[in-house]
Structure 1
């Protein structure tokens, strides 16, 4: 033992251990792969689990995790991955692990189109097998192009906001939109008619009744953003910002 004052010992601590993964990371270019303006074929990477996996993988890629090798662009599925899975509200036991396996395997087979019309293949190699459900210690090597997408213009998403809303795909999307586009000390305004082109959700999920219920759940469960709705628009504000002269409007590019 290294003797110090009063016999105290100092030991090396990994940076990710200190962080405790209280903060997740998201990037607009890689999330979500499954939005209607991204994937037009049958290989859609849809549902709440792919959304959460996108956040987990992007977080590991953008933090000093011992499971991410930036030089080889390879992620090893291990303790950090499953710690984050639990932190994000992704059930990793029983059927949950089967779902994680299936969605990770699907990610290795998918191809999608980026905003510039380029075909993107996220994964170049993996030893995850369709014949074995375990993903522990398996490796995924991402393409250089996809890693750039996950590490460019990254934004923080407090995981304490995500956890209580992880059961709702649209709830996750609204939190991600907030993290990506809601400016500090200003409001983010989305016209109601634009919601269907921004959120890959059913018309029922985007109905007034469903949105009011979802906004109440979001407002009751976290204190980063406040969600409000009028007849014609949705407003997302940093918590405590009730009005501001300047506001940012979010809409899909090249909307027809």
Structure 2
């Protein structure tokens, strides 16, 4: 039971991380909302300027990332929501590493992933500069590769139960959310959906929010109490 509660904590932290990330998405793209803007405007508009307005166009030009040193001040609300996402998913993955005895290689890869998530969080609070641009993106890329390596080790090499492996794989959606691979996948999906893609389509980041929330919910479902089979009834007979 104690081990099950650890997985419940993992699921709750992932859901909280999704809520924090939704705050970052909303604050960045709220300029693209309003009664004059419909979903069709940012999905189909090849020239969104006249409809979406200057503030929305500026948000598109600025681009979106949950964590990136953008020079606007690291402690503004949007950045703090991104920081909360990083800390919550780092905490959830730390609980995963403590949830059972992993093989040495799996634990090493998982610890590297945890360290990179925390490093991304720290770097995201730094002022933007040319040197920071050259450092931050490679760190995010290495984080994405570390997540993939950890996933392979969890699924292929580790000898834990199938349910533990599934929950650990789902929990990796948390660290992946602040890595480059997730950002690239998120952006690619939104560009496919929206014609208003100069430079970043409105509401980029939403797929990551949804994926993180669903991963947390799935972990919680897999951590529910399993029904134990009824004990076999004693069979009596006469000699």
Is the structural similarity TM-score above 0.5? no
Q: Which one has the largest radius of gyration?
A: 2
- TM-score tier after normalising by the smaller chain length: under 0.3
Q: With CA pairs under 8 Å and 6+ residues apart, which has the higher RCO, 1 or 2?
A: 2
Greater share of helix residues, 1 or 2? 2
Q: TM (normalized to structure 1)?
A: 0.27
Greater share of strand residues, 1 or 2? 1
